[in-house]
Structure 1
Amino acid sequence: MSNTLSLYNIEAEKSVLGAVLIEPDALLTASDIIEPGDFYREGHKLIYSACLDLYQLGEPIDLITLIERLKAKGELERIGGASYISQLSDNIPTSANISTHAKIVRNKSTQRRISNWANLIKSEAEEAEDLTSFFSKMERDIVELSQYQSINDRDPHVSDIVSNLKRRWNEEKQGLRTYIPVNSKLSVAIPRYVPGHVWAVGGYTSVGKSTFIAQQIVDTCEEGARCMVFSLEDSREEKLIKLIANSANMSQKHLMLGHTNGFEDVIAGAVNKINKWKLYIYDDVYTIDEIRLKVKKGKLQSGLDIIFVDYIQNIIGDGTLYEKLSEAVVKLQKMAKELQVVVVFVSQVSNEAMRSHSELIGLKGAGELSAAPDIVLWLKRVKGEDKERFLDCEIRKNRPFGLTGIYPLRFSEHWSRIEKRGIL
């Protein structure tokens, strides 16, 4: 049986409330860490809520105003009367320790949540018929609990931002995060992935988007990146075949058909290399919330650098295509910044943009799909005799590095890799 006394700390709760009464500005510190629901004693929840009310109304927080606020809400007697409030500040000489005491209140609140969740899970486990759904729900609950406990009790002062920049610059000097997208002048225009950024790779059907993305995955994994791929079109086996073909520079068609005679050593070498990568491939995740859940879990467990979504129009959601994709991209952008990962999504190009040769970005279901990404690449095949292997990569948006333009590329002999073309 659990020890209920270990799930709350009344003295810490009193200390927080008393500190707010003797130093109202202490409420700003506390509110970054705890909320009313974190208090165990019901009266303490009501007192803290009343303090927040006064702050939002622009009124001073002291013994008199707090009592009047609780009276107005009909809650004064529920918390023990005016005498109880006056006692809160009597034994608190200073508010200096409010951050420490607020964290104790927060931790106890999290412990109670975990305890309640464990009891609920036990009950649900006894009645569960679909274990797959049961484990999925349990996984979501664990991530939510861990996210709830993750708090940022410091404002983003410029000194903190400078420290983060110095750490990133130091990592780049050591060769970290220098993942080059394609071996061409593209690496000059876009020298590296930047944590927190979103990429969009657009192109018409059969233009080479899958090969382009496969090469990005291979190149980044070979540089040591921790990657997660959400394959919304290919099965995970098909996606892996593309990665093997790209890594071994051999025919993807031969691998698909099982024509491997004479290539056993090359395939074995590629597979052995891929087995060492920090790479996860999902082909059964179709909603943006499920993607966010997997990414958060991966980030918490082993860290992640780059997320690939191929392709985004296959996301399942409510509303029109425009509404569905707008919501998806906004959530991906928020996730990228929150978890400091790079998100690369593949998109179809709208038929209208292809027919009109529009100078707009022209991604299918555009809107946020075009506005949110930091980098937008548009792949186009080159028409003409003896040019069947030629394609152009146009940088239509390059928020972090500025350079745009068209960069000529070509497919390799076996169509499994993309190489520089011409004088590049």
Structure 2
Amino acid sequence: MTDRHPLWDQTAERSIVGAVVADDRCIADVAAIVQPEDFRYAPHREIFAYALKLHARGEPVDLVTLGNAVRQAGHTRLLGEIAIDVPGAANVEAYARVVADWSRRRAVVSACQKAIDTAGRTESGELAADLASRLEAASERTIGESLNWHGVITRMVEEVEQAANVDDDGVTGVRTGIPMIDGALGGLCRQRLIVLAARPSIGKTALANQIAVNAARDGVPGGICSLEMGEAELGARAMAYHCRANFTRLLRGRGDALDAMVRGMRQGDPKTWPLHLDTSTYSLAGIEARITSWKRNHDIRFAIVDHIGLIEVEGNVSTYDRVSLVSRRLKKLAKRLDIAIIAVAQLNRALEKERRKPTLADLRDSGNIEQDIDVGVFLHVDPDDLEQQPTRVHIGVLKNRTGRRGWAKPLMFDGACQRFFEPTHYDDEDLR
């Protein structure tokens, strides 16, 4: 920022500090609008941070207590001057909104400046996606929406009424088209982060794509960010499932598979599905921007990210910290956009050596996913069943904030046409 355009309001910042000293009863109202990082002038920022710490400990905030707290930082004289200039707390919330507004303006300028600084060494699409994500973040409120209890109960009643109007199966979210999963989860419910986890080659991508196709065939808009496969392969997998065609033979242009695809497309034109795909964005900021764009332009109700281990973040961070950041931001994105997000993840290699079903602990080497997710769906195939076609796949709902948990009856996976289905009957072996 230049002296000519400093992008802050000194009077507003000083007025907040003075108001807090004059009447500490206003601190909670001010903190609902601004936080210390919103202050442009460092001493103001530090004084306000100290005031919040005193308030959090239940101690009074006045010229004496706050003066003692900021003495080591060298702000006692400044605090005294402000206390003389600002004798009361009148209009402090208006001043807080001014400071918050200038903070957002600086964030916008910072985002644009970073784009300018990296323009010469960043691919144009990634540059635009990163800028869009930063601008979106800059436009958000520092503190989330506050509701009184009347608003809370009103929203709860709306949710209950919506649930009462659905079919008897109790599915209130986007239907996956797989009754066992819909029954356990209630569908893909909004604001939830759902992890779909398995070892490689078990069928987790096929299951995610099947869910997307089923929802799209019902007219539900959604999006897929695929970091592992190209559009041709994903399209072939979707057509193999939709048309009951052999996936491998379809990719190789074999006549029987092509005939099956033609027949299947007559039963519902896939070109009309409200499904959107991105196979070229790898950065976390870009993925956030893409999903936000889909929500704004197409009103998507769910998004699939496959898979989160391949997402790139800025900075030289450990794998643990990288995946922790990804899961945390995807959870926030699901809440902010009011959609369900399915994050595909890989489980620890130790499962194959120990020949056991996975547990939530097998996500621990993948950052804080275990804490961030709302639902954890795990796929497991017994080693003795790996060569069987179709393959029996055990489905475990090992975390579920609003429903039942545990290992359900297995599904069958027909890899040839990328299809999961429930068997017509279960024998005793299936229930192990």
Partner residue, 2:208? 213
Change (3 A) 1:287 1:381: farther
C-alpha distance after superposition, 1:51-83 (max 9, x if no partner): 446546765333455556666543355x4x845
Matches within 5 A, 1:14-413: 15-39=15-39, 45=45, 48-49=48-49, 51-52=51-52, 54-55=54-55, 59-66=59-66, 73-77=73-77, 79=78, 82=80, 84-89=82-87, 92=88, 95=90, 97-115=91-109, 118=112, 120=113, 124=117, 128=120, 130=122, 132=124, 134-147=127-140, 149=141, 151-152=143-144, 154=146, 159-173=150-164, 177-259=172-254, 262=259, 265-266=262-263, 268-269=265-266, 272-277=269-274, 279-286=275-282, 288=284, 290-292=286-288, 294-295=290-291, 298=294, 304-315=300-311, 328-329=326-327, 332-333=330-331, 335-336=333-334, 340-348=338-346, 350=348, 352-354=350-352, 356-361=354-359, 366-367=364-365, 371-372=370-371, 373=373, 374-380=375-381, 388-399=389-400, 400-411=402-413
Q: Please, which runs of 5 or more residues in structure 1 have no aligned partner?
A: none
CA distance in 2 between counterparts of 1:204 and 1:115 reads 43
SS of residue paired to 1:128:
helix
Please list the CA deviations of residues 173-220 of structure 1 after superposition, one character each: whole Å capped at 9, or x if unmatched. 565953333434443333322334443434455443333222111122
The 1:284/1:363 distance shift into structure 2, 3 A limit, reads farther
The answer on whether the counterparts of 1:245 and 1:252 sit within 8 Å (CA) in structure 2 is yes
1:371 deviation in Å?
3.7
Deviation at 1:402, TM superposition (A): 1.5
Q: Deviations over 1:257-296 (max 9, x none)?
A: 234654575465578444441x332323445565445445
The CA deviation string for residues 93-132 of structure 1, in whole angstroms up to 9 with x for no partner, is x64x4334312321133234435655x379659x736552
Decide whether the 8 Å contact of 1:177 with 1:225 is kept in 2.
no
Q: TM-score, normalised by structure 1?
A: 0.75
Cα separation, partners in 2 of 1:204 and 1:264, compared to 1, 3 Å: closer
Q: Would the alpha carbon gap of residues 64 and 137 (structure 1) be closer, same or farther in structure 2, given more than 3 Å must change?
A: same
Q: Is the 1:306–1:342 contact (alpha carbons within 8 Å) kept by the matching residues of 2?
A: yes
- The change in CA–CA distance for 1:40 and 1:62 in structure 2 (over 3 A counts) is same
- Counterpart contact for 1:380–1:392, Cα < 8 Å: yes
The CA distance in 2 between the partners of 1:335 and 1:47, in whole Å, is: 32
Query: What is the CA deviation profile of residues 326-383 of structure 1, one whole-angstrom value per residue up to 9, with x for unaligned ones?
Result: 6654554555456554332334455543454424428866545784452323243796
Q: Give TM-score, length-normalised by structure 2.
A: 0.73
Offset of 1:29 from its aligned partner? Answer: 1.5
The amino acid across from 1:152 in the alignment is G
Alpha-carbon distance between aligned partners in 1 of 2:179 and 2:57, rounded to the nearest angstrom: 59
Secondary structure of the corresponding residue to residue 255 of structure 1? helix
DSSP 3-state at the match of 2:86: helix
The answer as to whether partners of 1:286 and 1:316 remain within 8 angstroms in 2 is yes
Deviation at 1:88, TM superposition (A): 0.7
Structure 2: runs of 5+ lacking an equivalent? 427-432
Distance between the aligned counterparts of 1:130 and 1:98, measured in 2?
Answer: 43
Which aligned runs of 4 or more in structure 1 are off by greater than 6 angstroms?
317-323, 362-365, 381-384
Which shifted more, 220-229 or 173-182? Answer: 173-182
Separation of aligned partners in 2, 1:276 and 1:25: 55
Aligned residues: 411
Describe the superposition over 1:12-54 as per-residue Cα deviations: whole angstroms up to 9, x where unpaired. Answer: 4455344323321211221222134534667755654564465
